[in-house]
């Protein structure tokens, strides 16, 4: 059984936001909302500064608090790839999942349900990469099965220094950033 995850090379990412635009186009994300976005982390003191650009989205956590707090089961872990999804017809719009996510990855769709990144599961089921990964002009994004030790994502994590966002939140996120 696959367990999908993403690896993003911060040394290659230039913050062009192509991933954000591709997601909006592919998923018809409503105006004013984002399923993914670009973060910038500035570290150090002048003049020794280091800027890290991070393409961020739902981390499809192994311990997803949005799933445990959902009163109807709308937020669930999908069988295919253990991707965290929202069943629109079960969501009552209570917003508990918005409050439970340490990454603030969710928003309320104008149609009333909680919405967020799906890892473009509709594309992945057809053997395609998520839209954000497929358009990255610097090829900084990788998508694959974390449980397969021979997958590209597993090999990158095994061989390169990396970090995840807010590890102390204890959610075991599945997006890894290469340093």
Partner 1 sequence: MLELVTTRHNPLVDPSLHIWGWEIPVYLFLGGWVAGCMVLSGWLMRRGRAPGQGSVAYVLPWVGIVLLSLGMGALFLDLEHKLYVWRMYLTLRPTSPMSWGGWILILVYPVMALAALAAIPRDLLSGWPSLAAFAERLRAGRSLRLLGTVSIASGIALGIYTGILLSSLGARPLWASAVLGPLFLVSGLSTGAAFAHMIARDPEEESSLLRADILFLVTELALIALFLIGHLTSGAQHAHAVALLLGGPYTAVFWVFVVGLGIVVPLVIQSLMASHRIGHTVIAPLLVMAGGLALRIVIVAAGQYSHWIVP
Binding residues for partner 1, rule: CB under 8 A, are: 17, 20-21, 24, 31-34, 37-39, 41, 65, 68-74, 89-96, 98-102, 104, 106-108, 111-113, 163, 165-170
Least CB distance to partner 1 at residue 107 (A): 6
CA distance 137 to 166: 27
Least CB distance to partner 1 at residue 139 (A): 20
Task: Using the minimum distance from each CB to partner 1, give the nearer residue, 125 or 138.
Answer: 138
Q: List phi, psi (to 5°) of 47.
A: -95, 10
CA distance 52 to 179: 9
Question: What is the end-to-end Cα distance of the chain in Å, rounded?
Answer: 29
Task: Using the minimum distance from each CB to partner 1, give the nearer residue, 63 or 148.
Answer: 63
CB 178 within 8 A of CB 7: yes
Least CB distance to partner 1 at residue 125 (A): 25
CA distance 14 to 137: 9
Least CB distance to partner 1 at residue 152 (A): 25
Q: Is the peptide bond prior to 60 cis by the omega test (within 30 degrees of 0)? A: no
CB 81 within 8 A of CB 130: no
Task: Using the minimum distance from each CB to partner 1, give the nearer residue, 82 or 116.
Answer: 116
* 3-state SS class at 26: helix
Least CB distance to partner 1 at residue 148 (A): 28
């Amino acid at each position: 059984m696959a367990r999908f995850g993403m690896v993003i090379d911060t040394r290659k990412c230039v913050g062009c936001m192509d991933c954000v635009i591709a997601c909006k186009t592919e998923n018809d994300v409503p105006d004013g909302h984002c399923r993914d976005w670009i973060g910038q982390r500035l570290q150090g003191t002048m003049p020794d500064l280091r800027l890290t650009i991070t393409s961020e989205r739902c981390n499809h956590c192994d311990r997803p608090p949005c799933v445990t707090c959902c009163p109807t089961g709308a937020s669930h872990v999908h069988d295919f790839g253990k991707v965290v999804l929202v069943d629109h017809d079960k969501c009552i719009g209570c917003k508990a999942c918005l409050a439970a996510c340490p990454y603030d990855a969710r928003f309320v769709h104008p149609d009333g349900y909680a919405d967020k990144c799906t890892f473009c599961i509709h594309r992945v089921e057809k053997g395609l990469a998520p839209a954000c990964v497929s358009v990255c002009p610097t090829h900084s994004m990788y998508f694959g099965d974390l449980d397969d030790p021979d997958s590209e994502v597993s090999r990158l994590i095994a061989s390169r220094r990396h970090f995840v966002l807010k590890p102390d939140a204890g959610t075991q996120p599945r997006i890894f950033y290469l340093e």
